[in-house]
């Protein structure tokens, strides 16, 4: 292993893993420091009780809320990061999401770059992550310079009926953009088998387009890239001027080690990237590394989300359910002049997932057996933008633990969106009395425990006084420090953030290749 690297990347998820893939062919010496290990391939990968009830793969981290109460965040530390468990819904932000948008509760700020700046990288990210989709169905979709690289994932019969019914009432459902390694034309050789254990599960057969499978493993074919697993990065050290990171200090399987490089890139997730910068305070950076603006850790966002299931008289034998989306209300409608958000399917629920879920047990049991509920349920997810608030933030307590202070905002658009969806579903034969909230994704004591879409704590901008990073995602105050996870987001929009993180990592990768020469 090399003693000194050109680039060290902290984290191997949507940002870090994608960046490593972009840099690896250059011949530059690259080191990935990953907090976790390879996710074990075992039958429990596809066991709903193990994944959702026993929390087999969830970190044992304890974070604290603003009142000092501990909670277990739904966070995973493995090669590939959060993408090992994501639903692989790979949406572009809408073009208007990059500008200032007036919401019910305030303003979603403009980004310092335009959609046009990111569009070529969205196209490259869709190619790398083998996204399946269909242009022209979603009325809010932004301009694209190329078609999706793969055809849309077909709807199974029950979802196709829902698609047709929604269309008949004047809505515009579309095939959800999906990153899976599926070949429906040649099913005998397709890695993906369209199983029901995808969204929220790790893929036992490596057929999900996660960062490990499509980015890190291919990057490791290059001899110039090293991966060190089980490496918990504790702090970054700088020279006396405070302008250059000189070493990355990590505990590697319990032993402290120092790593050096010309450039350091953080991609540890919005909460942990902020934690690392705050923990790296020194004489030149007394409030945390690169935190002269006092913006590190602030403006934490993670989407206002609501999961629910609709119980229909018709059975739903769908296995791969996450194929339909709806954005008709993304920017509002004639009766509500503010953005609402996105509706999409989530993975098909099963009886073991309901164990301990009070809404389902209370509202349906003992009227229905849980197996009957699963057999007749269609599962939905609503996502609405929460607005950046400087007081929604990550700080550290005296022991260096994450303290996540969060007060919900922009709640009315969720109620408006849910009301419209509920109305449509009741007209389509789904009993309005049996739209049941689900807490499988947010089953801990406070909503912020469900942090899959966390973003915004190290935002980029053109003004050092109000941002941490410049438009290349380099720290304003540190010449060789970059951040490429969703921390850089000034706002989060209302669609899944993963593809934007991937596209931006490719954009920053091109910048670094030019800088490295």
Q: What percent of the chain has pLDDT over 90?
A: 84
**Residue 165, both tokens:** 């019914």
Residue 504 has pLDDT above 70, yes or no: yes
313 — pLDDT class (breaks 50, 70, 90): confident
Mean pLDDT over each residue of the chain, to the nearest integer: 93
According to DSSP, the β-strands at 341-345 and 377-384 are antiparallel
140-149, 210-219, 250-259, 424-433: which range is least confident on average?
424-433
Residue 430 has pLDDT above 70, yes or no: no
427 — pLDDT class (breaks 50, 70, 90): confident
Backbone angles phi, psi at 89, to 5 degrees: -85, 105
Rounded distance, CA 185 to CA 108, Å? 42
Rounded distance, CA 248 to CA 8, Å? 8
CB 246 within 8 A of CB 238: yes
The pLDDT assigned to 426 comes to 80
pTM over 0.85: yes
The pLDDT assigned to 437 comes to 75
Rounded distance, CA 181 to CA 150, Å? 10
The pLDDT assigned to 444 comes to 38
The pLDDT assigned to 314 comes to 83
Mean pLDDT throughout 487-500?
98
Residue 446 has pLDDT above 60, yes or no: no
The pLDDT assigned to 64 comes to 95
Mean pLDDT throughout 334-363?
82
Rounded distance, CA 166 to CA 170, Å? 7
Mean pLDDT throughout 210-221?
98
Rounded distance, CA 444 to CA 74, Å? 8
The pLDDT assigned to 356 comes to 60
Mean pLDDT throughout 337-345?
97
What does the pLDDT look like over 36-84, one tens digit per residue? 999 999 999 999 999 988 999 999 999 999 999 999 999 999 999 999 9
Rounded distance, CA 102 to CA 487, Å? 22
Q: What percent of the chain has pLDDT over 70?
A: 93
> Which CA distances in Å does 508 have to 4, 91, 108, 212?
21, 19, 24, 19
Instruction: Say how many C-beta atoms besides its own lie within 10 A of residue 194's C-beta.
Output: 19
The pLDDT assigned to 434 comes to 62
Residue 113 has pLDDT above 80, yes or no: yes
- The edge-to-edge listing of strands for the beta sheet with 70-71 is 70-71, 63-64, 402-405, 393-396
Mean pLDDT throughout 234-261?
97
For residues 152 and 361, which has the higher predicted lDDT (pLDDT)? 152
The pLDDT assigned to 3 comes to 81
The pLDDT assigned to 53 comes to 87
> Which CA distances in Å does 18 have to 77, 123, 235, 255, 267?
17, 14, 23, 28, 10
- Residue 114: which of 455, 456, 469, 490 has the closest Cα? 490
The pLDDT assigned to 31 comes to 98
374 — pLDDT class (breaks 50, 70, 90): confident
Rounded distance, CA 421 to CA 417, Å? 6
Backbone angles phi, psi at 159, to 5 degrees: -75, -35
Residue 397 has pLDDT above 50, yes or no: yes
DSSP 152: P
Cα 55 to its chain centre, rounded Å, is: 19
7-16, 296-305, 359-368: which range is least confident on average?
359-368
Q: Enumerate residues 6+ apart whose C-beta is below 8 A from 382.
A: 305, 306, 307, 308, 341, 342, 343, 414, 417, 418, 421
For residues 269 and 452, which has the higher predicted lDDT (pLDDT)? 269
Rg (Cα) of the chain, in Å, rounded? 22
The pLDDT assigned to 442 comes to 44
> Which CA distances in Å does 140 have to 73, 341, 346, 431?
33, 11, 20, 29
Residue 445 has pLDDT above 80, yes or no: no
Helices (H), 392-497: 412-427
CB 131 within 8 A of CB 179: yes
> Up-side HSE of residue 293: CA atoms within 13 Å toward CB?
26
502 — pLDDT class (breaks 50, 70, 90): very high
For residues 245 and 370, which has the higher predicted lDDT (pLDDT)? 245
The pLDDT assigned to 383 comes to 95
Mean pLDDT throughout 399-406?
96
Rounded distance, CA 167 to CA 311, Å? 20
The pLDDT assigned to 307 comes to 87
352 — pLDDT class (breaks 50, 70, 90): confident
């Amino acid at each position: 292993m090399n003693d000194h690297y050109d680039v060290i990347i902290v984290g191997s998820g949507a940002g870090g893993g994608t960046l490593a893939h972009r840099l690896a062919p250059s011949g530059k010496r690259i080191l990935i420091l990953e907090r976790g290990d390879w996710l074990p391939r075992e039958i429990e990968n596809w066991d709903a009780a193990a994944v959702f009830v026993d929390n087999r793969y969830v970190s044992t981290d304890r974070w604290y809320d603003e009142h000092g109460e501990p909670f277990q965040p739904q966070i995973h530390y493995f090669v590939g990061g959060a993408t090992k468990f994501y639903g692989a819904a790979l949406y572009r932000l809408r073009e208007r999401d990059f500008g200032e948008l007036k919401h019910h509760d305030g303003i979603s700020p403009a980004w310092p770059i335009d959609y046009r700046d990111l569009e070529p990288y969205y196209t490259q990210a869709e190619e790398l992550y083998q996204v399946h989709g269909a242009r022209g169905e979603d009325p809010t979709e932004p301009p694209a310079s190329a078609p999706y690289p793969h055809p849309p994932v077909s709807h199974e019969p029950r979802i196709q009926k829902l698609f047709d019914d929604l269309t008949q009432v004047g809505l515009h459902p579309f095939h959800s953009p999906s990153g899976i390694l599926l070949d429906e034309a040649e099913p005998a050789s397709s890695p993906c088998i369209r199983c029901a254990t995808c969204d929220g599960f790790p893929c036992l057969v490596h057929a999900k387009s996660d960062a490990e499978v499509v980015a890190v493993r291919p990057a490791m074919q290059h001899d110039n890239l090293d991966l060190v697993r089980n490496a918990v990065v504790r702090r970054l050290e700088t020279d006396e001027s405070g302008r250059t990171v000189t070493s990355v200090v990590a505990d590697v399987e319990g032993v402290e080690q120092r790593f050096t490089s010309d450039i350091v890139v953080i991609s540890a997730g919005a909460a942990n990237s902020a934690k690392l910068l705050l923990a790296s305070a020194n004489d030149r950076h007394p409030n945390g590394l690169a935190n002269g603006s006092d913006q590190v850790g602030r403006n934490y966002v993670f989407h206002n989300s609501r999961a629910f299931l609709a119980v229909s008289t018709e059975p739903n034998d769908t296995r791969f359910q996450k194929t339909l989306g709806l954005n008709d209300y993304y920017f509002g409608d004639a009766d509500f002049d503010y953005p609402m958000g996105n509706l999409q399917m989530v993975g098909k629920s099963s009886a073991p997932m309901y164990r301990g879920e009070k809404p389902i047990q209370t509202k349906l049991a003992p009227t229905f057996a849980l197996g009957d509920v699963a057999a007749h349920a269609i599962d939905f997810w609503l996502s609405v933008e929460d607005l950046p608030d400087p007081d929604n933030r990550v700080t550290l307590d005296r022991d260096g633990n994450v303290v996540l202070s969060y007060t919900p905002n922009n709640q009315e658009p969720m109620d408006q969106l849910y009301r419209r969806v509920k109305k449509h579903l009741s007209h389509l034969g789904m009993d309005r009395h049996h739209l049941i909230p689900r807490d499988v994704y947010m089953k801990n004591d406070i909503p912020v425990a469900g942090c899959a879409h966390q973003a915004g704590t190290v935002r980029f901008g053109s003004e050092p006084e109000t941002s941490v990073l410049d438009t290349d995602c380099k720290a304003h105050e540190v010449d060789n420090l970059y951040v490429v996870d969703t921390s850089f987001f000034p706002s989060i929009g209302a669609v899944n953030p993963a593809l934007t993180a991937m596209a931006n990592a490719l954009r920053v990768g091109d910048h670094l290749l030019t800088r490295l020469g």
